[in-house]
Amino acid sequence: MGYYNSPEPKKKRGGYFASSFSGLLAGALLIGVVLPEFTDSEAAANNEPETVQTESDLQGTTDIVTTDITEMVEKTSDAVVGVTNLQTAQQNPFVPASQAESKEAGTGSGVVYKKDGDWAYIVTNNHVVEGAESVRVTLADGTEIDAEVLGTDVWTDLAVLKVASDEIGTVVEFGDSSKLQPGEPAIAIGNPLGLQFSGSVTVGVISGTERLVPIDVNQDGREDWQAEVLQTDAAINPGNSGGALINSQGQLIGINSMKIAQDAVEGIGLAIPINVAIPIIEDLESKGAVERPSLGVAILDLAEVPREYQESELKLPGDVTGGIVVNEVAPGSGADKAGIRQFDVIVELDGEAVNSVQELRQHLYTETEVGDTLKAKAYRDGKLMEFEIELTESL
């Protein structure tokens, strides 16, 4: 699985235009050669005069086709923007640092969700702007404006940008992702392969809701988190990251984020449900970070401790096979005040068994808030003990 935020090298459009024009000529020749032969034969068989359609007749048969999808796209597409991550290229030792230029390090998409006075706010993916020294936003009409990164969150892969509002016209309307059902229409809007294909639209359905996808946040080869996502078969390609997934009412129901990158997999696109994203967006906009509860301990999975040490050092009963080992306790933290010590093995939180660090994070980040009191059970020297820990804000 992988994140996508870097475009492929841009190709010149001349070849594409030439091939398309040749195709049109070939089509015109086929119409001019095949169709007259058919109409002449048919007219002769029926002793009817030949009827020839003029160019004006053909033009008169062309209508503008409007559907629910085109209406929803027209309503929403101007709220979807391009996001360019700019970073200074590797410094040439013979060029002064003051003359170094920022270059495009990657591109993605974003969605304008709010306009308030002089400012407008855009949600995108964390990985789209990660490492950026500056960020540029490209509007649907091609206008480029500078953006400020207000905050990012690696756990949910979300980021919020702020731009001047004078060029912003369309703001997306939030939908309700909790009401989605498999089979509902889903429309993805974004910039696949970068700004070369800006404003691209793909259509599909909601394939699944409340999917849990393992994420390796720090790229150490181990799963750190399980992200809740929507699954859709609307095509989501490199550059779509941060773009909009909308419903048949033109409401934003998800932020396109990931795609399973396997040759054997087709039609599986993933998006962050908007109901999951909204509280993160609010925190990033107002505080620059997401407020999450913390125990105040450094921990590791019990599975990482060799079995002989589990018995000799931790003195765990033989039937205990999962849990979290406390490696360090921060002075003055909730865990410290509750009496948690180094090498305690936490096995239960609020009545639910926890077998790994990932399960502990899922419980803390999704089911508790700063200030809550958490009930924990932990083994110490072979004895099961109970603790009440007041959760503080993570640092």
> What is the set of active-site residues?
127, 157, 241
- Which are the contacts of 189, defined by CB distance < 8 A and separation ≥ 6? 73, 76, 77, 80, 109, 199, 200, 201, 243, 244, 246
Whether the Cβ atoms of residue 126 and residue 151 lie closer than 8 Å to each other:
no
CA separation for the pair 91, 97 (Å, rounded): 7
Structure tokens that stand for 114 in this block: 């709010």
Name the nearest CA neighbour of 347 among 293, 384, 313, 388. Answer: 384
